[in-house]
Structure 1
Amino acid sequence: MEEIHREMIIVVGWMNRDVPGWLQLVDRFDTVCTNIRKKHGMVIGGLTYITFIGGY
């Protein structure tokens, strides 16, 4: 998911070079991902990631 987000910013930047700079001011993606990992017991930067798919 994080890779897709980074790639989308790059692609949008090709269309308008100003957009990536604007996104840095308001983009909460990394914070939201971190909060989801913490809430669902996923290890950040560790060896194991617990996959959370569709509530299972």
Structure 2
Amino acid sequence: MTAEDALEFLIAGASAIQVGTANFVNPRATTDIIDGIEQFMVENGIADLKDIIGTLAV
């Protein structure tokens, strides 16, 4: 699980992401994902995570 994976779930409409098992492979997975989402938001001028959820255009 990466930040990109988490963002894909959020964009598709998820309001929560489970990353527990990813921590077995990478003990820093949770913080890496949070940092990656934060970086994406800064780069794209997004102030609130709620502005990402469910934005997938079908």
Larger Rg: 1
User: TM-score under structure 1 normalisation?
Assistant: 0.42
Q: TM-score scaled to structure 2, two decimals?
A: 0.41
Higher relative contact order (CA 8 A, sep 6+): 2
